[in-house]
């Protein structure tokens, strides 16, 4: 039986579900990279998305298992740069939801766990605990209950790529709520930050 979780934006206008059928193979990690922090600074959600040391808690799931059920009209898509990830969020309350890669043949959703409607212990029991912290950059080393790495790391990358490969073979890239199967384009045209906006974000302490 798959684990099905509800998720929603902070004001609960945008809602959906995510199935985590093979949770033991999924990767849950905290990303400390500059981009995730800049993104949170740009959106300014009322409930902070960043945890201690500016980390964002993600679980990597297949797009075939990620469904938006309500509030699709409030879905926004933002890129920090021309080559950046699609950063999906709810425009009603500026909640960051998930990231997807720009390459449509890569079935992958990095879902921010804060949006799952469950408490931390349920999350740890059903999804699994955080396995590691990645991209710690200048803030490395960070004290946490799990290993924190300066980069993404070979192990985490291998695990992620294996999952993406598995989902690709299953055809999950054609079953995404976020990417049009015919065109391979995102269902919402992304807004890309301009140089001035980027400068402001990355120079903010
Ligand atoms: Zn909302
Ligand atoms: Zn990041």
Which pLDDT belongs to residue 1? 57
Say which DSSP state 7 is in.
Answer: E
Which ligand is nearest to the Cα of residue 91, counting in written order?
A: 1
Task: Report CA(1)–ligand 2 centroid distance (Å).
Answer: 31
Which ligand is nearest to the Cα of residue 58, counting in written order?
A: 2
Which pLDDT belongs to residue 114? 94
CA distance 90 to 41: 15
Task: Report CA(4)–ligand 1 centroid distance (Å).
Answer: 21
Q: Domains in the chain, please, with CATH? A: 3-195 (2.170.150.70)
Please say whether the beta carbons of 100 and 179 come within 8 A: yes
Which ligand is nearest to the Cα of residue 71, counting in written order?
A: 1
CA distance 31 to 144: 12
Which ligand is nearest to the Cα of residue 15, counting in written order?
A: 1
Task: Report CA(120)–ligand 1 centroid distance (Å).
Answer: 21
Which pLDDT belongs to residue 153? 85
Which ligand is nearest to the Cα of residue 30, counting in written order?
A: 2
Which ligand is nearest to the Cα of residue 134, counting in written order?
A: 2
Structural tokens at position 190: 């992304």
Residues forming beta bridges with residue 87, ordered by sequence position: 78, 99
Q: Which residues lie at CB < 5 A from ion ligand 1?
A: 9, 11, 13, 90, 92-93
Task: Report CA(158)–ligand 1 centroid distance (Å).
Answer: 34
pLDDT in tens, the chain (205 residues): 568 999 999 999 999 999 987 767 788 999 999 999 999 999 999 889 999 999 999 999 999 999 999 999 999 999 999 999 999 999 999 999 999 999 989 999 999 999 999 988 888 888 888 989 999 987 788 999 999 999 988 888 999 999 999 999 999 999 999 999 999 999 999 999 999 999 999 865 5
Q: Which residues lie at CB < 5 A from ion ligand 2?
A: 31, 33, 36
Q: Where are the alpha helices (DSSP H) in the chain?
A: 34-43, 120-126, 154-169, 195-203
Task: Report CA(60)–ligand 1 centroid distance (Å).
Answer: 22
Task: Report CA(60)–ligand 2 centroid distance (Å).
Answer: 13
């Amino acid at each position: 039986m798959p684990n099905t979780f509800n998720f929603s934006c902070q004001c609960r206008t945008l809602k959906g579900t995510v199935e985590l059928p093979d949770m033991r193979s999924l990767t849950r990690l905290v990303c400390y990279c500059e981009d995730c922090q800049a993104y949170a600074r740009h959106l300014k959600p009322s409930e902070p998305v960043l945890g201690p040391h500016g980390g964002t808690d993600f679980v990597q799931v297949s797009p075939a298992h990620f469904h938006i059920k309500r509030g699709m009209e409030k879905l926004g898509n933002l890129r920090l740069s021309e080559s950046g990830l699609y950063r999906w969020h709810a425009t009603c309350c500026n909640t960051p939801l998930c990231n997807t890669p720009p390459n449509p043949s890569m079935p992958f959703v990095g879902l921010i766990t804060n949006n799952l409607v469950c408490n931390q212990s349920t999350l740890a029991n059903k999804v699994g605990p955080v396995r590691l912290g990645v991209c710690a950059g200048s803030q490395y080393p960070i004290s946490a209950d799990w290993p924190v790495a300066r980069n993404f790391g070979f192990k985490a990358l291998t695990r992620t790529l294996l999952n993406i490969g598995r989902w690709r073979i299953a055809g999950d890239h054609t079953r995404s709520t976020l990417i049009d199967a015919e065109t391979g384009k995102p269902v919402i045209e992304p807004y890309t930050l301009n140089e001035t906006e980027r400068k402001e974000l990355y120079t903010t302490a």
